[in-house]
Amino acid sequence: MKRPTTPVIAAGVLALTLAGCGVGSTLAGVNDAAPAQVTTTAPIDAQSAQKIAERVMARADEAAAAPVAEARALREQALTGSALAVATAASKLQTGPSPTAPSLPLTRSESPKVLAISRGTTFPRLILVQTTTSEGAARLNLLTSPDATTPFRLSTSVTMAPGTQVAALDSVASGSPMVTDGTKLGVAPADLVTQYAASLDYPKPANAADVEPGDPFATSVRANAAAQAKAFGKLAKLTQKHTAQPRQTVSIALRGGGALVFSLLERTDTITLAAGGKSLTPSAEFQRLVRKKALSRSAELKSYETVVFTVPASGKAGVVGADEVLFSAKGT
């Protein structure tokens, strides 16, 4: 799990790994009477899923390493959902002819490992893939295909926190059901993400009753906000608002109950200088977005926060991993 950045004073922005697309499966045979939908097995076999995963991650490297002039088109072909939004945000912060770390994906030390395939022949379909970097960090990658004519692309990629793990999923052959309502979980995914987002707000966070306290990402977000506010003193006021993006929430059932929930939050940092406050010097990343070296009145920064939870059949949810990236800044 990567440590969040402070909004203006600190430099350095965290970015998710870019990724790519592979060839999706197609439905074979068209008859006057369509065959009944299969709901008990995965729509593709393990070997096909592995080939797709390898192709997706190879395209990831291609999109990430491409020259700036070519990168946008490759990203749009390779990515979708929050992965595309995050990669586009990271590209705005890069300097020079090619992306620099941490915008580039870390070199993988082994082949992608398919953890799960969605169950049934309906769409959308997904493949859950784990990759390991040469530094030993594990990442969870969600590949999705919305229909029979669209190949799999990477929709989410998140760094796992050290020491965390994903509970057992159903076999690749049987497929893992997608969770749509959350009635059999300790907390519905939509409610979970909303709770967690509100618990990160500053200066008045709400209580996330259904989330295990003390995860490293939340701890860092809160600590950095408090440190930033303390640095401003009476010269400026900081507020942070975290908002869930429900259309980006995807949930996969775990074996024996529970779910793995991928989510996207949008964080807004608002900094307002007091009447007698001096000017602020923005971070290098902020300056690249707004092209200003000093602020005299206010600043607003927006960041994407990608968070993955494990939700038990009963009890509190836990955070498996999280990443963030700044995507917008304005100031006067």
pLDDT in tens, 256-281: 899 999 999 999 999 888 876 667 77
Q: Which is higher by pLDDT, 236 or 172?
A: 172
- pLDDT level of residue 60 (50, 70, 90 thresholds): confident
Residue 29 predicted with pLDDT over 70: no
Q: What is the mean pLDDT of residues 190-218?
A: 96
Q: What percent of the chain stands above pLDDT 90?
A: 48
Residue 160 predicted with pLDDT over 90: yes
Residue 216 predicted with pLDDT over 90: yes
Reduced to 3 states (helix: H, G, I; strand: E, B; else coil), residue 322 is strand
- pLDDT level of residue 290 (50, 70, 90 thresholds): low
Which of 130-139, 240-249, 280-289, 292-301 holds the top average pLDDT? 240-249
- pLDDT level of residue 137 (50, 70, 90 thresholds): confident
Among 62, 56, 317, 15, CA closest to 158:
15
DSSP character string of 294-313: -BSSEEEEEEEEEEEEEE-S
pLDDT on residue 236: 83
pLDDT on residue 202: 97
**Which tokens belong to 157?**
């990629």
Which of 157-166, 190-199, 280-289 holds the top average pLDDT? 190-199
3-state secondary structure 104-121: CCCCECCCCEEEEEECCC
d(CA 77, CA 152): 10
**Which tokens belong to 78?**
């390779």
Cβ–Cβ < 8 Å for 252, 144 = no
pLDDT on residue 183: 84
Beta strands 250-253 and 138-145 are unpaired
Among 244, 245, 238, CA closest to 202:
238
Peptide bond into 124 cis (omega under 30): yes
pLDDT on residue 105: 47
Q: For 240-261, b where at least 16 C-beta lie within 10 A, e where not — what string?
A: bebbbbeebbbbbbbeeebbbb
pLDDT on residue 2: 53
pLDDT on residue 25: 33
Tell me the pTM.
0.81
d(CA 181, CA 325): 29
Q: What is the mean pLDDT of residues 278-304?
A: 72
Q: What is the mean pLDDT of residues 87-107?
A: 55
Q: What is the mean pLDDT of the chain?
A: 81
- pLDDT level of residue 180 (50, 70, 90 thresholds): confident
29 contact partners, CB below 8 Å, separation of at least 6 = 35
